[in-house]
């Protein structure tokens, strides 16, 4: 089952690149391994980064 990258970043499917970037920065700050006290913060951060990389690249975005 494929991950819902929009849900990972907490945005709607119609979001533009600026909204995607803003959401990524907000969520990444929260779950960054150097800042987060959560045990799974590092894994969550990698998932957030993967979501941003996919949604910010037009070619990857069209494949999902």
What pTM was computed for the model? Answer: 0.85
Instruction: Assign 64 a pLDDT band (cuts: 50, 70, 90).
Output: confident
* Domain architecture of the chain: domains with CATH: 5-63 (1.10.287.110)
Instruction: Assign 3 a pLDDT band (cuts: 50, 70, 90).
Output: confident
Instruction: Assign 61 a pLDDT band (cuts: 50, 70, 90).
Output: confident
Instruction: Assign 36 a pLDDT band (cuts: 50, 70, 90).
Output: confident
Integer CA distances (angstroms), 1 to 4, 50, 53, 64, in order? 9, 15, 19, 12
* C-alpha 64, offset from chain centre: 14
- As a whole number, the mean pLDDT across the chain is 89
């Amino acid at each position: 089952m494929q991950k819902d990258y929009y849900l990972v970043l907490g945005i709607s499917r119609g979001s533009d690149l600026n909204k995607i970037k803003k959401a990524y920065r907000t969520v990444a700050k929260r779950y960054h391994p150097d800042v987060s006290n959560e045990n799974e913060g590092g894994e969550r951060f990698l998932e957030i980064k993967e979501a941003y990389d996919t949604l910010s690249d037009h070619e990857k975005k069209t494949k999902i």
